[in-house]
Structure 1
Amino acid sequence: MHPTQFSSGDVIADRRADYARMLAENGEHEAAVELMEQALDLVPDWPAGLLRLADYAEKAGQADKAVPALRRLLSLDREDLFGAQLKLALLGAEEVPDQPPSRYVEALFDDYADRFDTALVERLDYTVPAKLARLIADHDDRRFERAVDLGCGTGLFGAEIRDRVTRLEGFDLSVNMLAKAEEKGLYDLLAKADLSLDPAGAGLFDDELAERRADLVSAADVLMYLGDLANAFSLAAHLARPGAFFAFSVEDAGEGDGYLLAPSLRYAHTERHVRQRLAENGFDVLTLTRTTIRMDGGKPVFGILFLASRTA
């Protein structure tokens, strides 16, 4: 169940929220706001209700109602399961955070896992895994001894690279996505890890999982769920042997420095930010290509595919 569908525990409040949802689906956002306010009069500390109120208020152009609802939600939910901080940043009420809340990303993909492949590949024309595998092969068609697939999801990139890898490891924040990857039988190891954390806390290293063990590290359509790439690239550097490849994608933020938070609540990164973080962590860019990485709302989402190499 998606978090926005969580019940308030009050039958009348839930009924009003259901009516509000139907109004919102018909584009009647101001009326939906009024009904959600009535529901929250009955259950003031209903997190999912506060999120719905904020969403409807934003679409109605009522930021004066959306912002307090999100602030109240954040005070009730310190782990920020609902991504309130990101939504406040989009409304200009908070600074854009360096990273999204891990619990928000985990819940997002736990909910998405069962329909991920169908939605992404068939409906959104998602092509990053195949394009990234081709970028690697076009540069060097060698076989890899050990590949580490960061943010492996359901294993879409693993399927593209499996026949060129002796040992394939996959790590993801979502246990439901890992379960879907397990069903495909592609990986020699699957485990939970948080790429937003530093190498000591991410979950990629222990007595059996040594540093500098990979000659290929990948991150296909993962880094858009991170802001500043410093920690993610530090993880890649700790995994990569000298001369190892690091293949990954980002959404393209265009010219300038840094990164931005898009209305999709995903991050886009500038080429300059990516190059800076790569250099800081001992990677040289071998090649890059700009491409459409998926569709979103019927419009193309533009990205950059990178292939870098770990210096000795």
Structure 2
Amino acid sequence: MSQPDSAENPTARGEALLAGGRPDEAVAAFTAALALRPKDSAAWRGLGKAQLDLGDQNAAKISFARALAIVPYDRYAAHMLASLSGPADVQATGYVADLFDTYADDFDAHLTGDLNYRIPQAIRALLAERAPFASLLDLGCGTGLVGAALSDLVATIHGIDIAPRMTRKAHERGLYRHLRTGDLLDSIANDPALVGPYDLVTAADVFVYLGPLEAIFAATATLLVPQGLLVFSVETTAGDAPVLRSSGRFAHPAAYIARLADQFGFTLDVTQSRPIRQERDQPIPGALYLLTRN
């Protein structure tokens, strides 16, 4: 027997509307759910996502805070609230590590199959004519897809990732001399095995989880040799500052990347527009950048 007055139906309808790219209607559905059940954390989360898709960050921040107050261990809500609240360390919420550890065993098949992820191959194509390389630091190495794509172009590969099960998978490839699990900046600053210098640093689909990139650009500049290369992918957006999306990832405008390159002593050599992956059966617009340290 159907229950048209239950909160579950409008919450599910809101999620379906979000997936269909109709956030304005999703707001109405989640609002209806909350009228029936004000402490429905899933509805508060959904409302925050819909508000963020509509560009209302202040309202989204309130909604994610309400969801977190109801379920204090909701790491997605904690991640979104931290990301919307200022320059706090969003990695400290544990959301990103949990996200990737949850499906580490199926990560490669899901990413390269279901999501049509081809960034490691695009990085290889970008670097093939510049090879060989003596050393690579693979930031956010995950299961080692970039290491595998570049293994015959690089003599020594080191990697860092925040998710323990992901680095365990990367270790199984046998391609990395040093693999570390932890925060990127902490690892670069404190691990003597990762001091470099490197002639290549990669970050494939990593900066999307960091938001502001000033600190990682500054750290990378200290690791690279003169004329060393930084190659990375981002999701793209208009404007001049990173933008948080309801996916929990950030998009970075071209103007922002150009400003960071100039600020931290890089020459922007290549900007290659390309889809990053599929989401909700649609390609996510992105870009692949190659920068040279001056």
The TM-score, its normalising length taken from structure 1, stands at: 0.74
Partner amino acid, structure 2, of 1:137: A
CA distance in 2, matches of 1:249, 1:69: 30
Paired with 1:105 and 1:88, the residues of 2 have a C-alpha distance of: 13
Q: 1:279–1:110: structure 2 CA closer, same or farther, 3 Å change rule?
A: same
Could you report, residue by residue, the CA deviation over 1:245-270 in whole angstroms, capped at 9, with x for unpaired residues?
A: 1111111113x312211222211111
1:193 maps to what in 2? 182
Cα deviation, residue 32, structure 1: 5.4
Q: Give the aligned partner of residue 158 of structure 1.
A: 147
Alignment correspondent of 1:54: 44
Q: 1:113 aligns with which of 104, 124, 149?
A: 104
* 1:83 counterpart = 2:73: no
Report the Cα distance in structure 2 between the residues aligned to 1:95 and 1:68, rounded to whole angstroms. Answer: 10
Q: 1:285 to 1:265 in 2, by over 3 A?
A: same
Deviation, structure 1 residue 23: 6.9
**Structure 2 matches for 1:259-274, cutoff 5 A?**
259-274=242-257
Change (3 A) 1:210 1:127: closer
Q: How does 1:230-245 map to 2 (within 5 A)?
A: 230-245=214-229
Within 5 Å, which residues of 2 pair with 1:1-312? Answer: 24-25=11-12, 33=34, 37=38, 50=41, 52-57=42-47, 70-74=64-68, 81-84=75-78, 86=80, 95=85, 100-102=90-92, 103-138=94-129, 140=130, 142-195=131-184, 197=185, 202-206=186-190, 208-209=192-193, 211-254=195-238, 256-311=239-294
Which residue identity does 1:135 align to in structure 2? Answer: L
Query: What is the distance in 2 between the residues matched to 1:79 and 1:276?
Result: 37
Contact 2:178 2:193 in 1 (8 A): no
Q: Count how many residue pairs are aligned between Structure 1 and Structure 2.
A: 269
Instruction: Describe the shift of the 1:79–1:151 C-alpha distance in structure 2 as closer, same or farther (beyond 3 A).
Output: farther
Contact kept, 8 Å, 2:234 with 2:252, in 1: the verdict is yes
Structure 1 unaligned segments of length 5 or more: list them: 1-18, 41-48
Q: Could you say if the C-alpha distance between residues 204 and 21 of structure 1 is closer, same or farther in structure 2, counting changes exceeding 3 Å?
A: farther
CA distance in 2, matches of 1:35, 1:187: 53
* Separation in structure 2 between the aligned mates of residue 182 and residue 290 of structure 1, nearest angstrom: 31
Corresponding letter in the other structure for 1:281: F
CA 1:88–1:248 in 2, change beyond 3 Å: closer, same or farther? closer
| Identity score, percent | 34
- The answer for unaligned runs of 5 or more in structure 2 is 1-5, 17-28
